[in-house]
Amino acid sequence: MDAFISGFLTSLSLILAIGAQNAFVLRQGIKKEFVFLVCIICAMSDAILIVAGVGGFGYMTQKFSYLESVARYGGGAFLFVYGIKSFYSAYKMTHALKPQSFATASLTKTALLTLAFTWLNPHVYLDTVMLIGSVSTKFGTNANIFGAGAVSASFVFFFSLGYGARLLAPFFEKAVAWKILEFIVGVIMLALAFMLIFSV
**From first to last of its 200 residues, what are the pLDDT tens digits of the chain?**
688 988 898 888 888 876 668 878 887 887 788 999 999 999 999 999 899 888 876 566 667 777 667 767 877 787 788 788 878 877 876 655 555 555 567 888 889 988 988 887 767 777 788 788 888 877 877 888 999 999 999 999 999 999 998 887 777 677 787 788 778 878 877 887 787 777 65
Handedness of CA 66, 71, 72, 73 (dihedral sign): positive
pTM of this prediction exceeds 0.85: no
> What does the alpha-carbon distance between residue 1 and residue 23 come to, in Å, rounded to a whole number?
32
CA-angle at 12, arms to 127 and 160, nearest 5°: 125
User: What pLDDT, on a 0 to 100 scale, did the predictor assign at position 86?
Assistant: 79
User: What pLDDT, on a 0 to 100 scale, did the predictor assign at position 58?
Assistant: 59
